[in-house]
């Protein structure tokens, strides 16, 4: 009738951990530096694996009272990982393998690994230890000050910390790459090879065309969202998530799902890529589109060629390219009528409220475009302008050295210029994002780069495969996922985004396809002339 003993059986298994097979890695002598490096990378991988797991657990499961021990563990293994990635032993292997006669014999993934790790190793070695410690401390204090300032909408509390983090970030970047433009170095941290000359060129196109498009949308009749009001069972929402993930191609045998405060994706390894979600009783769309978004990230991670395991190509390194995949599923596919045609009845079975909402009404609701203050709540069109604003701010900070106390007004002015609305306080203005508080300047543009890549990928996909709407309506979404797997995912971070664009689209970055997509979609949906 009851099983009360299994527990102790499991205690026992656990107990015996201490005496699992012992293989002494250090005694396996390697003949070649390449083999040595591979063994070393295998060791580094273990630390990354447990750090990922500690992070996952902390955000999905760990209780309040265990947090201190948990933070201790994260600190310990981060330190170990940091030591491994800056050890002289690693440096010597990397230098030896980067000599042309050795380098030329490596395969592409190992060449990339040697290049990236050596660059990072050398960058770290140029940073004085004292400076590094003070910088880390300054960022930690700044993050805390930002949290407090955001809550009270009081920029003056945050200003001295921001000022310090800006000046130290400049110093930090200068140590890393003394001969390069600091802001370009920052951009490259998140999107390899990206620079502000390229971004200026494409953002200018968007700055010119998006405001008039937004004006046309605003002058059109608004979608009626009242049909969606109501209370949606959380367990049913979880079943909708499972249905959506399966539909787009997430492999449940190579991943897992859980709840967390904010949705995120985490790659433990190619065979274990996990997504979280956050459910709101009064808003079923939030969790549905988060599921599709995170599912897109996860499909990328699950589809990397296993041959790249344990090389730099396996790592999530290109934020723009990664974001392009989550947004391709979420926006380019997920906000289309044809995406829902094959599964709308199923959605109604799981969440019966949707049976009362015609598919057309639903499609208007998931494409409700209007200016708003908060980036993370913005639709796919105005989102672009939120990013452009932040990019302009970062250039003002790093190129024009605009004093910190002038930044809030600059933010509000640009907000008014780009989106036609002005924040009433700094909480809904410059204080809304955490990125700058911890020195992550240069990160924001990658979100929008992802959307532009998507416009280009959509064009290439339709050139080769025909209308996406036809494919989706016929329930052949699997063919789109296969195309993305084959063209993009399988290579992981092997190619820079610029290289991927050349390989997949045959040309360099342009905003044109994204703009064409917006114009076509919203003129049809809102019924105005392009």
| Shortest reach from residue 141's CB to a second copy, in Å | 12
Q: How far does Cα 145 stand from its chain's mean position? A: 25
Count residues binding a second copy (CB under 8 A).
110
39 lies in the site for a second copy, by CB under 8 A:
no
Using CB under 8 A as the binding rule, whether residue 14 contacts a second copy is answered as yes
224 contributes a contact to a second copy by CB under 8 A:
no
Q: How far apart are CA 97 and CA 115, in angstroms?
A: 9
Single out the segment in contact with a second copy by CB under 8 A; choices: 19-27, 154-162, 506-514, 519-527. 19-27
Window 96-115: residues binding a second copy (CB under 8 A): none
4 binds a second copy (CB under 8 A): yes
Q: Are 48 and 309 in contact (CB under 8 A)?
A: no
For a second copy, give the closer residue by CB, 443 or 457.
Answer: 443
Q: Which residue has the tokens 């200018």?
A: 204
Q: What angle do CA 123, 127, 128 make, to 5 degrees?
A: 155
**Would you call 294 a catalytic residue per the annotation?**
yes
Per the CB < 8 A criterion, the answer to whether 126 and 174 are in contact is: no
Structure tokens belonging to residue 158: 């945050």
226 binds a second copy (CB under 8 A): no
Please count the CA atoms within 13 angstroms of the CA of 14 that sit on its side-chain side. 6
C-beta closer to a second copy: residue 70 or 346: 70
Which letter does DSSP use for residue 329 in this model? I
| Pair type for strands 255-259 and 272-277 | parallel
**The two structure tokens encoding residue 507:** 């040309």
Find the length of the chain: 530
Are 108 and 494 in contact by the 8 Å Cβ rule? The answer is yes
Paired tokens of 102:
């050795």
Q: Is 466 in the site for a second copy (CB under 8 A)?
A: no
Q: What is the C-alpha to C-alpha distance for residues 157 and 37, in angstroms, rounded to an integer?
A: 47
Beta strands in 203-283 (DSSP E): 255-259, 265-269, 272-277
Residue 129 exposed, middle or buried by CB count within 10 Å (0-12, 13-18, 19+): exposed
Q: Which of 293, 489 has the CB closer to a second copy?
A: 293
Q: How far is the CB of 50 from a second copy (least distance, A)?
A: 5
**Which of 184, 192, 314, 323 forms a contact with a second copy (CB under 8 A)?**
323
Give least dist CB 204 to a second copy, A. Answer: 23
Please pick, from the candidates 33, 55, 141, 523, the single residue that binds a second copy as defined by CB under 8 A: 55
Q: Which of 377, 464, 474, 524 binds a second copy (CB under 8 A)?
A: 377
Residues 234-273 contacting a second copy, CB under 8 A: 235, 251-256, 258, 262-266, 268-272
Q: Give CA–CA dist 119/125, Å, rounded.
A: 10
- For a second copy, the binding residues in 422-441 under the rule CB under 8 A are 434-435, 438, 440
Asked if residue 131 binds a second copy (CB under 8 A), the reply is no
219 vs 253 by CB, closer to a second copy: 253
Q: d(Cα 37, Cα 97) in Å, to the nearest integer?
A: 9
Q: Does 230 bind a second copy (CB under 8 A)?
A: no
Enter the DSSP assignment of 92: H
**Residue 400 is a binding residue for a second copy (CB under 8 A):** no
Instruction: Find the shortest distance in angstroms from Cβ 45 to a second copy.
Output: 8
CB of 465 to a second copy, least distance (A): 25
- Contact region with a second copy (CB under 8 A), list: 3-11, 192-200, 401-409, 453-461: 3-11
Q: Is position 159 an interface residue for a second copy (rule: CB under 8 A)?
A: no
The 277-296 contact track toward a second copy, x by CB under 8 A, reads -x----x-xx--xx--xx--
Q: Find the binding residues for a second copy in span 478-517 (CB under 8 A).
A: none
Closest CB 202 distance from a second copy, rounded Å: 19
Check residue 522 for interaction with a second copy (CB under 8 A): no
Contact characters 332-371, a second copy, x per CB under 8 A: ----------------------------------x-x---
**Identity of the residue, 102 or 134, whose beta carbon is nearer to a second copy in the bound complex:** 134
Q: Which is nearer to a second copy, 432 or 496 (CB)?
A: 432
- Window 181 to 220, contacts with a second copy (CB under 8 A): none
Q: Using CA atoms, how far apart are residues 263 and 278, in angstroms rounded to an integer?
A: 6
Q: Is 443 in the site for a second copy (CB under 8 A)?
A: yes
Considering beta carbons, is residue 268 or 480 the nearer one to a second copy? 268
State how far the alpha carbon of 439 is from the alpha carbons of 123, 136, 142, 172, in Å. Answer: 17, 10, 9, 10
Coil, strand or helix at 316: coil
User: Is position 65 an interface residue for a second copy (rule: CB under 8 A)?
Assistant: yes
Q: Identify whether the C-beta of residue 259 lies closer than 8 Å to the C-beta of residue 279.
A: yes
- Based on the shown chain and the rule CB under 8 A, indicate whether residue 327 belongs to the binding site for a second copy: yes
SS3 168: helix
Q: Which of 294, 317, 380, 459 is catalytic?
A: 294
Q: Give the separation between CA 222 and CA 250, rounded to whole angstroms.
A: 34
Contact 344, 288 (CB under 8 A): no
Residue 19 lies near a second copy (rule: CB under 8 A): yes
35 binds a second copy (CB under 8 A): no
Q: What are phi and psi of 367, to 5 degrees?
A: -130, 40
CB 351 within 8 A of CB 284: yes
What is d(CA 262, CA 260) in angstroms, rounded to the nearest whole number? 5
Residue 141 engages a second copy in binding (rule: CB under 8 A) = no
Give catalytic residues, as residue numbers.
294
């Amino acid at each position: 009738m009851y099983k009360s003993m299994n527990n102790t059986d499991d205690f026992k298994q656990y107990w015996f951990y201490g005496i699992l097979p012992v293989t002494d890695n250090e005694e396996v002598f390697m003949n070649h530096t390449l083999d040595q490096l591979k063994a070393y990378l295998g060791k580094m991988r273990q630390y990354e694996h447990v750090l990922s797991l500690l992070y996952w657990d902390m955000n999905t499961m760990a209780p309040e009272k265990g947090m201190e021990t948990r933070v201790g563990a994260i600190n310990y293994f981060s330190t170990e990982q940091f030591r491994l990635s800056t050890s002289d032993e690693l440096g010597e292997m990397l230098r030896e393998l980067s000599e042309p006669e050795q380098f030329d014999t490596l395969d592409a993934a190992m060449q990339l690994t040697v290049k990236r790790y050596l660059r990072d190793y050398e960058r770290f070695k140029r940073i004085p230890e004292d400076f590094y410690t003070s910088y880390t401390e300054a960022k930690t204090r700044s993050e805390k000050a930002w949290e407090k300032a955001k809550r009270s909408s009081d920029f003056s509390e945050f200003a001295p910390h921001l000022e310090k983090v800006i000046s130290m970030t400049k110093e930090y970047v200068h140590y890393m790459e003394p001969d390069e433009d600091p802001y370009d170095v920052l951009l490259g941290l998140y999107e390899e090879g990206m620079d502000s000359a390229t971004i200026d060129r494409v953002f200018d196109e968007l700055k010119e065309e998006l405001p008039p498009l937004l004006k046309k949308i605003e002058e059109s009749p608004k979608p009626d969202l009242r049909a969606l009001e109501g209370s949606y069972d959380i367990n049913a929402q979880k079943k909708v998530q499972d249905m959506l993930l399966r539909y787009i191609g997430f492999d449940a045998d190579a991943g897992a799902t859980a709840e967390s405060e904010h949705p995120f994706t985490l790659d433990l390894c190619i065979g274990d890529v996990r997504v979280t979600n956050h459910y709101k009783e009064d808003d079923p769309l939030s969790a549905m589109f988060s599921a599709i978004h995170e599912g897109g990230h996860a499909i990328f991670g699950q589809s990397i060629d296993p041959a790249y395991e344990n090389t730099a190509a396996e790592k999530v390194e290109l934020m723009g390219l990664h974001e392009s995949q989550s947004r391709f599923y979420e926006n380019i596919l997920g906000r289309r009528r044809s995406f829902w045609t094959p599964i709308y009845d199923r959605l109604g079975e799981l969440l019966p409220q949707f049976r009362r909402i015609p598919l057309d009404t639903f499609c208007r609701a998931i494409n409700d475009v209007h200016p708003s203050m908060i980036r993370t709540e913005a639709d796919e069109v105005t989102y672009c302008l939120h990013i452009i604003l932040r990019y302009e701010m970062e250039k003002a900070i790093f190129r024009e050295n605009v004093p910190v106390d002038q930044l809030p007004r600059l933010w509000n002015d640009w907000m008014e210029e780009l989106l036609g609305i002005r924040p009433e306080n700094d909480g809904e203005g410059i204080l809304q994002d955490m990125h700058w508080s911890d020195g992550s300047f240069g990160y924001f543009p990658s979100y929008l780069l992802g959307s532009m890549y998507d416009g280009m990928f959509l064009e290439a996909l339709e050139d080769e495969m025909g209308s996406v709407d036809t494919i989706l309506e016929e329930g052949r979404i699997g063919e789109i996922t296969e195309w993305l797997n084959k063209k993009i995912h399988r290579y992981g971070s092997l190619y820079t985004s610029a290289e991927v664009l050349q390989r997949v689209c045959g040309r360099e970055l342009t905003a044109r396809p994204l703009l064409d997509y917006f114009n076509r979609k919203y003129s049809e949906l809102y019924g105005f002339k392009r």
